[in-house]
């Protein structure tokens, strides 16, 4: 786990249980993530052991921060309160992305998993290093986002029952099923999505030419190639060259099959507007 330190604004508690506070003022402070603990120092000291986090970015009403600031909502179990408590954090988009990944990776790292290759199951563990989710056991599988084509949650046969797994398709024709405890499965799913999204947005999209970004944006919105050519007034030959450039990063497959999150689409549109 990498240590993270930075300035943030926060609301604590943003809510308890089913009660959400939408009119509380923001406080300023610094956040530190280290050794399995998230600590915010401001008007008060807030300590959140990562082992007590129940959810991240739960779908509840959040205030509008405006500008380029992003939000991270942490739900954790407070032993003193004997209740689930929400902590809302606001900072720059890049810092929140980094913080989210580090929190998620710290929660799932070293967790025991069962993974299936072909028809056989193997015991293993999860780790995360430098943008890559790694499965170790009888095999060592490094799932860098450039290799991943599709992730989905499914129910499959495991022994004499059906269990929820994360199904990962990678390297064109390879498939891996991951079985992990239900709560950890949710965090692993979020980590995979965030890592793939960051790879697409930062390592790929920013390197694109303006017309490539426009085409990618329209494909993400479901436009057909013929309609894109008509809108952008480009020839079939140029369209083919653009598609080949996008195919270099498996981007079209990811967008059509995996789909970018709304946050990812927002980044692409921002880059498109700047080109």
Helix, strand counts (H, E) of the chain: 7, 15
CA distance 128 to 92: 23
Measured in degrees and rounded to the nearest 5, phi and psi for residue 171 equal 50, 45
Q: What is the reported pTM?
A: 0.76
CA distance 225 to 239: 8
Region of residue 165 (phi > 0: left; psi between -120 and 50: alpha; otherwise: beta): beta
Using a 10 angstrom Cβ sphere, with 0-12 exposed, 13-18 middle and 19 or more buried, the burial of residue 243 is middle
The predicted structure's pLDDT at residue 8: 95
CATH number assigned to the domain with residue range 109-199, chosen from the 4 options 3.40.50.300, 2.30.40.10, 2.30.29.30, 3.40.50.1820: 2.30.29.30
The predicted structure's pLDDT at residue 206: 62
The residue extents of the domains of the chain are 4-106, 109-199, 208-274
Are the C-beta atoms of residues 10 and 88 closer than 8 Å to each other? Answer: yes
- Which fold, 4-106? PH-domain like (2.30.29)
The predicted structure's pLDDT at residue 182: 86
Examine domains 4-106 and 109-199 and report if their fold is the same: yes
Per-residue pLDDT 10s for the chain (275 aa) are 678 899 999 999 998 877 888 788 999 999 999 988 999 999 899 999 999 999 999 888 777 766 678 899 999 999 988 899 999 999 998 899 899 999 999 999 988 999 999 889 999 999 999 889 999 999 999 999 888 888 889 888 777 788 899 999 888 789 999 999 888 999 999 999 888 888 877 766 666 667 887 887 787 777 888 888 888 888 988 888 888 777 765 666 555 444 545 545 554 455 444 44
């Amino acid at each position: 786990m990498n240590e993270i330190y930075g300035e943030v604004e926060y609301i604590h508690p943003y809510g308890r249980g089913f009660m959400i506070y939408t009119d509380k003022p923001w406080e300023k402070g610094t956040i530190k993530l280290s050794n399995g603990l998230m600590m915010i120092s401001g008007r008060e000291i807030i300590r959140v052991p990562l082992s007590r986090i129940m959810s991240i970015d739960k779908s509840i009403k959040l205030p509008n921060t405006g500008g380029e600031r992003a939000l991270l909502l942490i739900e954790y179990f407070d032993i003193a309160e004997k209740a689930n408590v929400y902590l809302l954090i606001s900072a720059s988009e890049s810092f929140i992305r980094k913080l989210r990944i580090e929190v998620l990776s710290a929660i799932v790292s070293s967790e025991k998993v069962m993974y299936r290759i072909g028809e056989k199951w193997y015991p293993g563990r999860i780790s995360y290093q430098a943008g890559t989710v790694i499965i170790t056991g009888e095999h060592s599988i490094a799932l860098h986002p450039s290799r991943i084509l599709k992730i989905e949650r499914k129910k499959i046969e495991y022994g004499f029952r059906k269990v929820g797994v994360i199904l990962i398709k990678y390297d064109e024709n390879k498939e891996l099923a991951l079985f992990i405890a239900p709560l950890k499965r949710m965090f692993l799913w979020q980590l995979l999505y965030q890592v793939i999204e960051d790879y697409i947005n930062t390592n790929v999209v920013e390197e694109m030419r303006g017309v490539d970004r426009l085409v990618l944006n329209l494909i993400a919105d479901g436009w057909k190639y013929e309609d894109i050519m008509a809108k952008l007034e480009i020839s079939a030959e140029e369209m083919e060259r653009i598609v080949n450039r996008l195919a270099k990063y498996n981007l079209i497959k990811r967008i059509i099959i995996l789909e970018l999150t709304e946050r990812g689409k927002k980044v692409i549109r921002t880059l498109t507007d700047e080109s």
